[in-house]
Structure 1
């Protein structure tokens, strides 16, 4: 008999109408009563950890969740974490880096419609989360719309459609069809040692999208605000302008100040490759870190996590050159 823990944090799945719109309201027992799950084959514990709209889910909450999971993981075969969809990909990525070598599956899920709605997608999502939590998996995953995805590869791509998340640059770890749940174990997270909690995060990290004509002095503003890390979504495979508005020279100045800069692509799919074009090669020579095929959410949270572990920019580079939980495809 599998022993599972359901942790709730709020989100749309637990919301009910109010005078100011939907707000998180349901606790774990109320969620379970609506689901009507049969528990003959599992032992289930419940914990209401937070009750937030996920727009308010921030690094402080990531730490709280990570610490709680670390405190209890040895007592369970799997953990289900309900969460709002808007920032679920950020939370899943952050937990993936903070909880090293997690020997059990932690499955994040939620819904586009509240569970109280008769047509809610939350019923199927939670049932899949319970099934996935009983599988022989390690680490953090997101399940949504009959797909199970790596926590560092899932991205919310739709605001209304039930197929809200896609697994970017990596196939889903599991899918549901008429034969049930199929897990592709070769693509899942593998254990590489003892489970450890590394929950120090640097909150002074900024994610910016490059636009044509952007003034390079925006980077001076971030430096003056004491930001220690910057993630830039560049054009295509890694293009950054340097004619008239020389962003590349400004990046060199920023890196020389000890600020870590990671550059990924604005394109959702496929990888950045700074070796292809002149602009990309210029960026590499100035000490910028490549994000390759990582999602923006994974780049941001990995940089926050890396800067939480070290103040040395070279060590940050080495961390980004390491694949921890299949978050990056390295050449």
Structure 2
């Protein structure tokens, strides 16, 4: 039987009602297993309680903690299941995709829209499917298992706030799907036998600026000295209002001249950016220090920037790492 380590971090799946009427993580990792006794039929499952957090409170420090827990136990287990709140699960999945590379063992994130404490809930099905996938010989890499879908960690987004099918795979096929309790794999394990690589350094000094019509440019100079990379969520395929004559262009030019990275992405959910299409984007694309996210998800852009900056001594090194495709994040 496969040996699986359950790493519990909190989230809705592990929440109970509070005296004030809300929900807060309180159910332990061992209690999660007890709610789904049929998991014992799938393999030997051990559990650790890493955090008791709502996922809105999970960020780079917790990503490092989760990656360290996997690393410390990597040789002892055949796979890992991480229970996690849904709101930032896609960020964590992306971050772990960069911090745990070329893993032949599955690192699976799951959670739920309703607590496992409730009678009618998606939690028990999601947890069962996550462990089933982790025990499968077709399993590999960092994945999200949610509802009936298995989604690559770098391609996942939360696209619904309440429905059970909360996550979508953006511009890329699902790794596998479940039909009832039968797993149907679509994407095979990658070829090759590179050893797993773990990373522990992140630089969270990344600022995301969503452009809106009429936005002033004076916010960008305020970021100097506080952030090392700027993500610009632009319109359509990308560009800056006013083109190379506008104040936004001048602010981005000065930001890059100070040695920082500026990453252009799009507010549109699908198909990515392409600064070369319009004149308002072409001048920005030519600036040293400007890179394009292309078809990366916003979660992957942010997590990869933090990872790339953490491994680099220069902007050029960070830029090269950011533009290197990892686990299908750039197509």
The equivalences for 1:238-317 within 5 A come to 238-242=238-242, 245-287=246-288, 288-317=290-319
User: Which residue is equivalent to 1:29?
Assistant: 30
1: CA distance, partners of 2:265 / 2:284 = 12
User: Which residue is equivalent to 2:7?
Assistant: 7
Give CA deviations for 1:252-274 in whole Å, capped at 9, x if unaligned. 11011111111111011112111
Q: 1:190 to 1:206 in 2, by over 3 A?
A: farther
Q: CA shift at 1:19, angstroms?
A: 1.8
Q: CA shift at 1:41, angstroms?
A: 4.3
Tell me the SS of whatever aligns to 1:223: coil
1: CA distance, partners of 2:171 / 2:234 = 17
The equivalences for 1:40-55 within 5 A come to 40-55=41-56
Asked if 1:233 corresponds to 2:229, the answer is no
Q: Could you tell me which of 168, 178, 187 is aligned with 1:166?
A: 168
The equivalences for 1:179-194 within 5 A come to 180-186=182-188, 193-194=194-195
User: Which residue is equivalent to 2:90?
Assistant: 89
2: CA distance, partners of 1:163 / 1:245 = 43
User: Which residue is equivalent to 1:99?
Assistant: 100
Give CA deviations for 1:271-314 in whole Å, capped at 9, x if unaligned. 21111111121111113100000001100010011000113111
Q: CA shift at 1:178, angstroms?
A: 4.9
CA contact (8 A) 1:95 1:140 kept: yes
1: CA distance, partners of 2:164 / 2:42 = 29
- Corresponding pairs, count: 327
Asked if 1:56 corresponds to 2:61, the answer is no
Give CA deviations for 1:221-241 in whole Å, capped at 9, x if unaligned. 1114x2001111110111321
Q: CA shift at 1:102, angstroms?
A: 1.7
Q: Could you tell me which of 115, 140, 143 is aligned with 2:142?
A: 140
2: CA distance, partners of 1:218 / 1:162 = 38
CA contact (8 A) 1:11 1:52 kept: yes
Q: Could you tell me which of 312, 322, 325 is aligned with 1:323?
A: 325
2: CA distance, partners of 1:303 / 1:4 = 30
TM-score by length of 2: 0.95
Tell me whether 61-70 or 134-143 shows the greater mean CA deviation.
134-143
User: Which residue is equivalent to 2:17?
Assistant: 17
Tell me the SS of whatever aligns to 2:232: strand
User: Which residue is equivalent to 2:158?
Assistant: 156
Deviating above 3 A after TM superposition, structure 1's stretches of 4 or more consecutive aligned residues are 188-192
Give CA deviations for 1:93-120 in whole Å, capped at 9, x if unaligned. 1111011222200110000010111111
CA contact (8 A) 2:239 2:282 kept: no
2: CA distance, partners of 1:215 / 1:116 = 48
Q: 1:175 to 1:267 in 2, by over 3 A?
A: same
TM-score by length of 1: 0.95
Q: CA shift at 1:36, angstroms?
A: 2.4
Tell me the SS of whatever aligns to 1:185: coil
2: CA distance, partners of 1:176 / 1:7 = 23
CA contact (8 A) 1:147 1:174 kept: yes
1: CA distance, partners of 2:95 / 2:239 = 27
Tell me the SS of whatever aligns to 2:72: helix
1: CA distance, partners of 2:41 / 2:291 = 50
2: CA distance, partners of 1:199 / 1:307 = 12
Tell me the SS of whatever aligns to 1:264: strand
Q: CA shift at 1:189, angstroms?
A: 5.1
Tell me the SS of whatever aligns to 2:236: coil
2: CA distance, partners of 1:123 / 1:130 = 11
